[in-house]
């Protein structure tokens, strides 16, 4: 089976590509940077170079002979990419698209509306699909590393609200299994980590892991927004983040599902395990 992986140099896509390689397949990867892809995968993938934002980019060569696509797109206009790629996939006879989406499609919070429009575009393309509606990623906590290392204090607007962050490896395992087995065609898989935790609890878990006390300070939505603008710039992405943090505080994002176990037959990885794997980033 030939799969084409988008976002293969990123957090989830790289793990999907590694899963496919481990399963004995030779995936193609659609990447902007061939050198980066070679460093990550050696000679175990076929590389197609392209930039989804470049005007007039085409896909036919990358889609030639492809059975399944792992589709990762991002940003407020991601539905345009999802529409163009799924339409080209239909023309090329691709049998299945697995799209990384978000649990927030169900709530309309944050980036939910972006992915809802992307899911609709794929449904309309006629290509069989599986949507991976994932909770927030544990790897988002890597964004706390600078403050933990340098100040020992984190500032959140999430209050005591909880969210069941998921390990990126669990997302990738679910996506790769969907591609390889086709058992979840036509379904949206809602997947979360094993338990909903407050940001204070996650900070304490990292603190215990690295043997350092981490203070947590409560801030307003406005302060959280101003902090996010410093690293992400003004724009819809920051608006989506503040929306998500507010929803966490309001207890609207504490969903826990058994989606990972249903899809791959094992429990999802805990936040404590993720923290231990990533301890060096916080020390």
Ligand X SMILES: NC(=O)c1ccc[n+]([C@@H]2O[C@H](COP(=O)([O-])OP(=O)(O)OC[C@H]3O[C@@H](n4cnc5c(N)ncnc54)[C@H](OP(=O)(O)O)[C@@H]3O)[C@@H](O)[C@H]2O)c1
Binding site for ligand X (CB under 6 A): 7-13, 32-33, 36, 51-53, 72-74, 100, 102, 111, 134, 136-137, 140
Residue closer to ligand X (CB basis): 173 or 212: 173
Q: How far is the CB of 136 from ligand X (least distance, A)?
A: 4
Instruction: Give yes or no for a contact between 62 and 89, defined as CB atoms under 8 angstroms apart.
Output: no
The nearest distance, CB 186 to ligand X, in angstroms, is 20
Least distance from ligand X to the Cβ atom of residue 168, Å:
6
SS3 166: strand
- DSSP assignment of 55-94 equals TT---HHHHTT--EEEE---STTHHHHHHHHHHHHHHHT-
The whole-angstrom separation of Cα 114 and Cα 91 is 24
Question: Between 24 and 233, whose beta carbon lies closer to ligand X?
Answer: 233
Question: What six digits make up the tokens of 152?
Answer: 């020992």
d(CA 45, CA 178): 19
To ligand X, the closest distance from the beta carbon of 211 in angstroms equals 27
Least distance (Å) from ligand X to the CB of residue 191? 10
Tokens of 62: 């990358």
**Nearer to ligand X (CB atom), residue 112 or residue 207:** 112
- Quick one: 94 or 190, whose CB is closer to ligand X? 190
| CB crowding 113-148: b at 16 or more within 10 Å, else e | ebbbbbbebbeebebebbbbbbbbbbbebeebeebb
Closest CB to ligand X among residues 16, 214: 16
């Amino acid at each position: 089976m030939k799969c084409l992986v988008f976002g293969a140099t990123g957090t989830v896509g790289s793990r999907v590509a590694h899963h496919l390689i481990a399963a004995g397949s030779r995936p193609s990867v659609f990447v902007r940077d061939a050198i980066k892809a070679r460093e990550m995968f050696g000679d175990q993938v076929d590389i197609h170079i392209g930039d989804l934002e470049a005007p007039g980019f085409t896909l036919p060569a990358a889609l030639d002979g492809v059975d399944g696509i792992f589709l990762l797109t991002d940003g407020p206009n991601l539905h345009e990419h999802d529409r163009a790629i799924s339409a080209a996939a239909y023309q090329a006879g691709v049998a299945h698209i697995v799209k990384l989406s978000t649990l927030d499609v169900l709530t309309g919070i944050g980036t939910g509306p972006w992915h809802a429009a992307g899911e609709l575009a794929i449904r309309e393309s006629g290509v069989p699909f599986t949507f991976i509606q994932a909770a927030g990623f544990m790897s988002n906590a890597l964004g706390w590393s600078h403050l933990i290392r340098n100040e020992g204090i984190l500032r959140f607007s999430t209050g005591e609200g909880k969210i069941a962050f998921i390990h990126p490896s669990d997302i990738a395992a679910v996506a790769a299994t969907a591609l390889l087995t086709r058992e979840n065609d036509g379904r949206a898989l809602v997947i979360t980590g094993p338990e909903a935790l407050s940001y204070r609890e996650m900070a304490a878990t990292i603190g215990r892991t690295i043997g350092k006390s981490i203070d947590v300070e409560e801030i307003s939505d406005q302060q959280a927004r101003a902090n996010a603008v410093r690293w992400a710039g003004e724009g819809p992405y920051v608006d989506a983040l503040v929306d998500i943090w507010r929803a966490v505080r309001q207890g609207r994002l504490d969903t826990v599902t058994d989606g990972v176990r249903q899809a791959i037959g094992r429990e999802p990885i805990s936040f404590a395990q993720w923290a231990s794997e990533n301890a060096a980033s916080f020390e």
